[in-house]
Amino acid sequence: MSAQPRRVENLHTDKGKVPVYATGIIEQPWDDYSADDHATWAQLYARQRELLVGRASDEFLIAQDAMGMTPDRIPKFDDINRVLGEATGWTLIGVEGLLPELDFFDHLANRRFPVTWWIRKPEQIDYIEEPDLFHDLFGHVPLLMNPVFAEYMQAYGKGGVKAHGIGPEALQNLTRLYWYTVEFGLIQQPDGLRIYGSGIVSSKGESIYCLESDASNRIGFDLERIMRTRYRIDTYQKTYFVIDSFEQLIRATEPDFTPIYARLAQQPSIPAGDVLPGDVVLNRGTGEGWATDGDV
């Protein structure tokens, strides 16, 4: 038996069954991980680390190595925290799963990153619908070692607390920014297009797909365009947004978003796969193989 999450209940929403977890911070129950759990980590780690050479951004790969993660066993949060604290002042906290938005933003605003403590089961190696330890730790935590990205994540948390106070539409705009940068962002490196989004680096299929497939769009970063763009949670992305550098991300998100939220409230959202006049198109997707509905 592997260590399992303590799910509190299932909430039935218009998106289907959503698992609800305890919101408290919990100590990583490291001794409870089974040999299977460590083997799942080892298998995923080795596979992704190899795949990501030449695909993930240099910043990601350098940070990941500097953090001292290895495939040997599931890392201890305490060990990571010593290195991370030294580098950028971020701390990992253990959680059961997704947190209420305001709790999540408040943690980020204080440089605390919530990491799901449990890891997927062997039969979920290639696909899991909700974030687990592998996604959070392998995917999100390395870039917290990078001072510029560390800054962006904290600023995002502060912006989240603010957007939460403004209303659900502002929150939706900001959530799209997180989705298309932190989770599914691409970056233009001198030697080619690379991945930095956590949702991509923790997925074998999408790590290949996002760079090589002709089906999806790859478009230059544009803050307001992103904030208007819907996204898919159940398939590979139809559109990826490409930044030039993490500095660009900081610069573009520095201004007060309040007037932007007000302006966007007057405009329709953009379907996930659309290309607009004015988009800087690196690759215009053929859209082949895609369902046409289900945008969220």
The residues of the shown chain that bind ligand PHE, judged by CB under 6 A, are 152, 155-156, 159, 162, 177, 253-257
256 binds, among ligand PHE, Co ion, none (CB under 5 to 8 A by kind): ligand PHE
Give how many residues touch Co ion by CB under 5 A: 1
Q: Output 176 or 238, the one with its CB closest to ligand PHE.
A: 176
Q: Output 55 or 164, the one with its CB closest to ligand PHE.
A: 164
Q: Could you write out the three-class secondary structure of 212-242?
A: HCCCCEEEECCHHHHHHECCCCCCCCCEEEE
Cβ atoms within 10 Å of 260's Cβ, excluding its own: 16
50 binds, among Co ion, ligand PHE, none (CB under 5 to 8 A by kind): none
Q: Output 181 or 198, the one with its CB closest to Co ion.
A: 198
- Report the residue number whose CB is nearest to ligand PHE: 159
Q: Output 160 or 285, the one with its CB closest to ligand PHE.
A: 160
Active site residue 12: no
CA distance 186 to 189: 9
What is the enclosing helix (H) or strand (E) of 83?
Answer: helix 77-88
Q: Output 189 or 253, the one with its CB closest to ligand PHE.
A: 253
Phi and psi based region of residue 165 (left: phi greater than 0; alpha: psi -120 to 50; beta: remaining) = alpha
Q: 202, 232 in Cβ contact below 8 A?
A: no
Residues 6+ apart with CB under 8 A from 230: 176, 269, 270, 271, 272, 295, 296
Active site residue 183: yes
Shortest distance (Å) from residue 202 CB to Co ion: 8
CA distance 223 to 237: 18
In whole angstroms, how far apart are CA 50 and each of 54, 63, 67? 9, 15, 17
162 binds, among ligand PHE, Co ion, none (CB under 5 to 8 A by kind): ligand PHE
Shortest distance (Å) from residue 114 CB to ligand PHE: 18
Shortest distance (Å) from residue 131 CB to Co ion: 5
Residue position matching structure tokens 């607390």: 161
List the catalytic residue out of 57, 59, 96, 140: 140
List the catalytic residue out of 183, 198, 207, 216: 183
Shortest distance (Å) from residue 161 CB to ligand PHE: 9
Q: Output 177 or 200, the one with its CB closest to ligand PHE.
A: 177
List the catalytic residue out of 57, 198, 202, 216: 202
**Binding string to Co ion for residues 195 to 214, with x set by CB under 5 A, is what?**
---x----------------
Q: 7, 132 in Cβ contact below 8 A?
A: no
Q: In this structure, what is the dihedral angle of CA atoms 187, 193, 198, 199, given to the nearest 10 degrees? A: 120
Residue type, 125: I
Shortest distance (Å) from residue 288 CB to ligand PHE: 33
Q: 243, 187 in Cβ contact below 8 A?
A: yes
Q: What is the set of active-site residues?
A: 135, 140, 183, 202
Which chain residues interact with Co ion by CB under 5 A?
A: 198
